[in-house]
Amino acid sequence: MTRSLFALPALLLALAAPAQAAPALWSISDDDSTIWLFGSFHLLPPDLDWRTDLFSETLEKADVVYF
């Protein structure tokens, strides 16, 4: 019973958290190179501003972009 009393508020807090619109962006690097992997999004509302400064800066600096 005690676990249920603690679990319920934690669950409600998790469900009440606002959605974050940030792209899935990972960096893989070694001594002399860096590769950025970007996860795609599908069916986003047209007015959703999902691009972050990091994403825009990374895209601008890219030598090659593959789709």
Question: Does 32 score more than 80 pLDDT?
Answer: yes
What pLDDT does residue 48 have?
84
Question: Does 56 score more than 90 pLDDT?
Answer: yes
Task: Please report whether residue 63 resides in a domain.
Answer: yes
- Mean pLDDT of the region 38-56: 82
Total domains in the fold of the chain: 1
Whether 36 and 26 have beta carbons less than 8 Å apart is answered as yes
Task: Please report whether residue 43 resides in a domain.
Answer: yes
- In order of 1, 3, 20, 50, the CA distances from 10 in angstroms are 15, 11, 19, 27
Domain with 56, as residue range(s), is 20-67
Backbone φ and ψ for 48, nearest 5 degrees, come out as: -75, 125
How far from the centroid of its chain's Cα atoms is residue 11's Cα?
22
Task: Please report whether residue 5 resides in a domain.
Answer: no
Q: How confident is the model at residue 31 (pLDDT cuts 50, 70, 90)?
A: very high
pTM, to two decimals: 0.47
38 or 42, which is more confident? Answer: 38
